[in-house]
Structure 1
């Protein structure tokens, strides 16, 4: 079974829920006999559950596919942002990587071009990505696993952060509203983010331009709490001005805007 067809099957079942074999076969461009063999293989891997005349995703894989979809959204912009953030790293320093999918691209960049770093994170994918990288000392926070974001949150994680200090924090954002406040969809994530900010010498926000002008439920911090903001070239002139007015230094993927304040 080709990897791309396997992914297509998973994406289709995630978007459409339990579906018939004929519907899945048509969506992924496979014959019904081929699709049946694919489903048998995926069921053996624990990815899908076959039903009478169809299939659905196994419960644990719904979370994985949801994370994959968010990670893939605006991927070129996120990779460009990760490249800019990589150039900010200081070899030998201690850094914290938040659980955002844009921050995960920085972890990928570190894996491609290793640096001696003491890396802390609450992001399981980032920890897995860096655990065997030469020169990188990887520490994962303890606490409650938030499966929706493959992250660790809660009082234990917050208590651990209170005992640490980082040269740099690389923080993602679910949304940045017109009042310049960062927000999150989850209360535990928002609370942990606020603790992260209090434990870092340099606070760097990594957010693609699509996050600006949006609002989620739980407030995290203000743009004025950030030292650096890294985004892509699609950010509007109005938002670029707001970032600079807040006192943060704006970096665009591919070029740098000096602080005007």
Structure 2
């Protein structure tokens, strides 16, 4: 980026760098935006006032918002670079003015975080309280949280009430994270209510995207959600084994493999 880049271009470059690479020094941000240290400091002040970043001595990071329960935080930190790369690829699939559903998983929450820092006009439904929190007071977005019983493990809403609400809705796009994709080419969940709700989600969307890192493939869990099918698109990282790539090709599933940037955290 040239030294004459506009403020909007610099702010986009800063947000993109922090999202992809995690906490960064002011020098790294200056290099990414092609601007002086003094200019970057002024830009960071703007982003901090907007609630988009947190500043620390000598650097900055994307704002984390409120604390979340420990188990969810621990899962969210696993394979974080892959989750961020997948979220960035999923963001490119978003259609302005669409109605979409974002589930409560950790990878999809990264997509919500990216939508928060780069919003576009659309309606977002979710069963995830933390996803909704990411999108609180974001311009251009209309956010709807479906009702149901609170599942503490990932701050999601599940159960008959949530499923009944889904039956009255139709979505242009669904972005769904998964707990496991078994050797039998079936999506699984660790929770029966979550499995039932996820199955209903898949039936209520025109375009269905499974967004998950490659560590979830070949793993079994307790409750079946749905069999993999050509009507479902898979987005995962490029570490997916060649055997799984062939299996998905044989099923006829659209597959997007995403490279994880070296050094990302």
Q: Please report the TM-score for the alignment, with normalisation by the length of structure 1.
A: 0.72
Q: Map 1:83-98 to 2 at 5 A.
A: 83-98=88-103
Does the 8 A contact of 2:183 with 2:219 survive in 1?
Answer: yes
- The partner residue of 2:217 within 205, 212, 217 is 212
Residue in 2 aligned with 1:200? 205
- The partner residue of 1:116 within 121, 133, 141 is 121
Could you report, residue by residue, the CA deviation over 1:41-89 in whole angstroms, capped at 9, with x for unpaired residues? Answer: xxxxxxxxxxxxxxxxxxxx9x701100000000000000001100000
Cα distance in 2 for residues equivalent to 1:149 and 1:246: 31
Does the 8 A contact of 1:84 with 1:254 survive in 2?
Answer: no
- The partner residue of 2:153 within 143, 148, 153 is 148
Does the 8 A contact of 2:182 with 2:220 survive in 1?
Answer: yes
Residue in 2 aligned with 1:243? 248
Unaligned runs of 5+ in 2: 1-66, 261-265
Show structure 1 runs of 4+ deviating over 2 A.
none
More helix by share: 1
Alignment partner of 1:188 is 2:189: no
Q: Alignment RMSD, CA only?
A: 1.4
Cα distance in 2 for residues equivalent to 1:208 and 1:243: 15
Cα distance in 2 for residues equivalent to 1:226 and 1:181: 14
Alignment partner of 1:77 is 2:82: yes
Could you report, residue by residue, the CA deviation over 1:111-133 in whole angstroms, capped at 9, with x for unpaired residues? Answer: 11101110000011100110211
Alignment partner of 1:107 is 2:112: yes
Residue in 1 aligned with 2:180? 175
Cα distance in 2 for residues equivalent to 1:221 and 1:187: 13
Residue in 2 aligned with 1:65? 70
Deviation at 1:243, TM superposition (A): 1.5
Cα distance in 1 for residues equivalent to 2:252 and 2:173: 17
Does the 8 A contact of 2:230 with 2:254 survive in 1?
Answer: no
Residue in 1 aligned with 2:133? 128
Q: Please report the TM-score for the alignment, with normalisation by the length of structure 2.
A: 0.71
Could you report, residue by residue, the CA deviation over 1:113-165 in whole angstroms, capped at 9, with x for unpaired residues? Answer: 10111000001110011021100100001010000111000000000000000
Q: How many equivalent pairs are there? A: 194
Greater Rg by CA: 1
Deviation at 1:226, TM superposition (A): 4.4
Unaligned runs of 5+ in 1: 1-60, 256-261
